[in-house]
């Protein structure tokens, strides 16, 4: 994570930590279920969509039928726009959580080039084809900084879905907690 002022991440340790603007919304429920282990309600249909990284170390503590979950490298919207749009347009989702996380492998992903090519070669790919795929795609998924990437993806989504509540969250892999990203405090030090 980049060098930020310390107040950029708001831990949610109790319900009162949730800012007023998220009270009585699916975001409040999302945070209460995951961080505070609130008892699960029953849901007939989803109330929220979570766009998150495909990283295997993240597991959300949510009730059945409460959320659509879309996983993509680095929690990027690239390649999942149709699925997002379908959830908003057809399923009536009006809240989206964009969830980045600590220790993301998409940070400076080009450092994984050799392992990527070698790994695909073990699965029958020719070196040139594997290298070409990496060269063509890595910039779409590379992240310089987790927080900056979460906020960037959040802003992109807000421009596409201006009547939808879109909230950046940060998952701490070490303790499995979610923090709110306070965008107006985002200033590099």
| Domains: count for the chain | 2
pLDDT, one tens digit per residue, over 38-82 is 999 999 999 999 999 998 888 999 999 999 999 998 899 988 999
Q: Read off the pTM.
A: 0.90
Residues 24 and 82 occupy one common structural domain: yes
Domain containing 93: what range?
Answer: 6-104+145-185
What are the strands of the beta sheet with 177-181, ordered from one edge? 9-11, 177-181, 165-172, 95-101, 48-52, 67-71
Question: Could you report the per-residue pLDDT of 3-48, keeping only the tens digit for each?
Answer: 454 589 999 999 999 999 999 999 999 999 999 999 999 999 999 9
pLDDT greater at residue 57 or residue 118? 118
Confidence of residue 187 (pLDDT cuts 50, 70, 90): low
Judged against a pLDDT cut of 80, whether residue 83 lies above it is answered with: yes
Per-residue confidence (pLDDT) for residue 184, from 0 to 100: 79
pLDDT digits (tens, 9 = 90+) for 101-115: 998 888 888 999 999
* Four-point Cα dihedral 69, 73, 78, 82, nearest 10: -30
The verdict on residue 63 lying in a domain is: yes
If one counts every other C-beta atom within 10 angstroms of the C-beta of residue 149, the result is: 23
Give the DSSP letter of residue 42: P
Based on the fold, state whether residues 130 and 152 are members of the same structural domain. Answer: no
Does residue 64 form part of some domain? yes
For residues 48 and 98, what is the distance between their CA atoms, to the nearest angstrom? 11
Q: Distance (Å, rounded) from C-alpha 107 to C-alpha 166?
A: 23
- Indicate whether 1 belongs to any domain: no
């Amino acid at each position: 994570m980049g060098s930020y002022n310390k107040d950029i991440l708001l831990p949610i340790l109790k319900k009162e930590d949730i800012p007023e603007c998220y009270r009585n919304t699916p975001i409040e429920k999302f945070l209460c279920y995951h961080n505070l282990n609130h008892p699960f309600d029953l849901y007939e249909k989803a109330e929220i969509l979570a766009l998150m990284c495909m990283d295997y170390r993240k597991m959300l503590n949510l009730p059945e039928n409460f959320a659509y979950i879309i996983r993509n490298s680095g929690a990027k919207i690239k390649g999942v726009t149709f699925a997002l749009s379908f959830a908003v347009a057809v399923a009536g989702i009006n809240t989206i959580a964009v969830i980045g996380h600590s220790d993301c492998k998409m940070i400076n992903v080009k450092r994984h080039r050799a392992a990527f090519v070698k790994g695909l070669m073990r699965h029958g790919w020719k070196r040139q084809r594997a290298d070409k795929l990496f060269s063509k795609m890595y910039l779409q998924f590379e992240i310089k900084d987790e927080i900056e990437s979460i906020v960037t993806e959040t802003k992109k989504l807000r421009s596409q879905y201006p009547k939808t509540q879109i909230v950046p969250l940060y998952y701490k892999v070490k303790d499995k907690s979610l923090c709110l990203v306070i965008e107006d405090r985002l200033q590099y030090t």
